[in-house]
Amino acid sequence: MDWVKTVNDAIEYMEDNLTEKITLADISGSVNLSAFHFQRAFTLLTGMSPAIPHHRIM
């Protein structure tokens, strides 16, 4: 699995849904991962929680 592409796809999903109230399950589902595995991969690659970029972009 290309983890960098997966995380980038998730960030794109967050950007595309800025006006929506999305959950970790929504984001992880958009890249076909469990919330647990997505959060671990996202944090490992970005150094931050998946919730932080969504709030920073807004």
CA-nearest of 57, 53, 33 to 43 is 53
Indicate whether 48 belongs to any domain.
yes
Domain that holds residue 36: 3-11+24-57
Indicate whether 18 belongs to any domain.
no
Indicate whether 28 belongs to any domain.
yes
Indicate whether 19 belongs to any domain.
no
Which strand (E) or helix (H) includes residue 38?
Answer: helix 35-46
pLDDT score for 51: 78
Indicate whether 44 belongs to any domain.
yes
Indicate whether 32 belongs to any domain.
yes
Count the domains in the chain. Answer: 1
Indicate whether 16 belongs to any domain.
no
pLDDT score for 40: 95
Query: In this predicted model, what pLDDT tens digit does every residue of 1-57 receive, in sequence order?
Result: 899 999 999 999 999 998 888 999 999 999 999 999 999 999 999 998 887 665 555
Indicate whether 31 belongs to any domain.
yes
